[in-house]
Amino acid sequence: MKRVEAVRRCHRLWWLSMVAMHWSTMVHIAVWTPVPGLLPWAVAGMRRVVDRERALAAEWSGIAVEATPAPVSGREKEGFGPLARYRWVFGDAQRFREWRWTTLYSFGGGLIACVPGALVLFGLWGLFLAVFGSYLARDAGWDGLWYLFVHVENVPTGLMAGLLGLVVGKTGLWLAPGTVDCHARFVRATLSPSEQELMAARIAHLSATRTDAVDTSAAELRRIERDLHDGAQARLVAMGMTLDAAEHRLNDDPEAVRLLLAEARASSSAALQELRDLVRGIHPPVLADRGLADAVRSLALLSPLATEVTVDLPARIEPPVESAVYFAVAETVTNAAKHAEAERLWIDITYDAGTGALRVGVIDDGRGGADPARGSGLAGIERRLATFDGVLAVNSPAGGPTQISMEVPCALSSPKTTSC
């Protein structure tokens, strides 16, 4: 790491600590001000700053700072008094750690981060006195200047101050990389949850994803039942009635029977096609036979968008994960064609053997504005992936482009059989 860059990072961490203290003040104001929506807004801002601290610790020092899932919104406590709102802030362990960081520990983090920059600035002051210190002491009528233990009165004492400043500045540059790492360790020590909290959060996450999986499966069964009832079953019933009518008219009107049989044949073909479509919606044959890569390529061929697919998979993925990722990609392709007004689409699928994760990126050149929080199909994708501990990230500014990233931890199940 370049030492000058490390000093810049220290300055950035110091500034972030000042921002954290600002959000701490906003939370306290929100607790004592019964303005609707103010407390959730302040807590969300506080969380963004703390999440940034975690991200910088991981990015700059390789120190991961774990966090439990974000608590629910605080709107249910807006109508209560300050004490109730304080209890709500302190009632969740993760929220309390964030408040404790912004209120107390961010000051300590700021002190740690400001040391290299302060030493560099003080060193520059010494160099300034080496050049102008004697003039300031003599011509400006000052009674000398002090730099550490050196009383700057003339050129020799100014040069001594400059040498000391050079040493102090170099010390600040030398300390900067270690200070960044020290700050990251301080963040981890003050923001990391305990093992019990992580276990409780894990249990809660599994309970929520299990509930989502059960609800999704029940909804899928209802859809299949509805499609069978309204589609293939109705056609088969109609075909039976047609054949019954043909049976009664077999001796009287052979020509009418021929028309009825043709109608029954058309109904059987339509019913068979609907059953094939239904099976394809449950689990596409190309996915079962050829794997995720060729199934996604098939989606690209059927899409009205100009789609480019890049796949790097050393082997087949576990079938449940393969199915979930396929339908997630299918949903994003449908969204890009229907809602994004896109013309081009890029799909990239890779497997990271180091982390054991499947990564999927989908980018379109549409108008942007996609947001999972608005209850769109992206929220369904997020729930589908969460069943396998997968995550979804969406970057979709107004005007586009939309970038969707999915990551699902999984294992390889069989040798590669696709053409990827």
Rounded mean pLDDT of 207-218? Answer: 62
Query: 73 pLDDT exceeds 50?
Result: no
Greater confidence, 43 or 37? 43
Higher pLDDT, 223 or 166: 166
What's the chain's average pLDDT? 77
| pLDDT greater than 70 at residue 221 | no
Residue 141 vs residue 167, higher pLDDT? 167
Predicted confidence at residue 205, as pLDDT, reads 63
Reported confidence tier of residue 161, pLDDT bands at 50, 70, 90:
confident
pLDDT for the residue numbered 74: 42
Cis peptide before 401, with omega less than 30 degrees from 0?
yes
Looking at residue 76, what is its pLDDT? 44
- The pLDDT of residue 337 is above 60: yes
If one compares 281 and 36, the residue with the highest pLDDT of the two is 36
Per-residue pLDDT at 375 exceeds 60? no
**Alpha helix (H) residue ranges in 283-318:** 285-290, 292-302
How many Å apart are CA 216 and CA 25, to the nearest integer?
A: 43
Q: Give 50's contacts (C-beta < 8 A, 6+ positions apart).
A: 20, 98, 101, 102, 191
So what's the pLDDT on residue 285? 72
Query: What count of residues does the chain have?
Result: 420
> Which of 119-123, 126-130, 281-285 has the highest mean predicted lDDT (pLDDT)?
119-123
The pLDDT value recorded for residue 213 is 58
pLDDT band at 297 (very low <50, low <70, confident <90, very high): confident
Tell me what pLDDT residue 278 has: 56
In this prediction, residues 286-314 reach a mean pLDDT of 83
pLDDT band at 318 (very low <50, low <70, confident <90, very high): confident
Summarize the confidence of residues 14-21 as an average pLDDT: 88
The owner of tokens 């990239």 is 348
64-68, 171-175, 368-372, 394-398: which has the highest mean pLDDT?
171-175
Q: pLDDT over 70 for what percent of the chain?
A: 77
Residue 81 and residue 68 in contact, taking contact as beta carbons nearer than 8 Å: no
Top-confidence range, 223-237, 256-270, 393-407: 393-407
Instruction: For the chain, give every domain's residue range.
Output: 3-191, 197-282, 286-415
Model confidence over 45-71: pLDDT tens digits? 888 888 888 888 888 888 888 776 554
Q: Give the model confidence (pLDDT) of 391-405 as tens digits.
A: 888 888 877 788 888
pLDDT band at 299 (very low <50, low <70, confident <90, very high): confident
Choose which CATH entry (2.40.10.120, 3.20.20.70, 3.40.50.12240, 3.30.565.10) describes domain 286-415.
3.30.565.10
Question: Is it the case that residue 376 has pLDDT exceeding 70?
Answer: no
Asked if the model's pLDDT at residue 279 lies above 60, the reply is: no
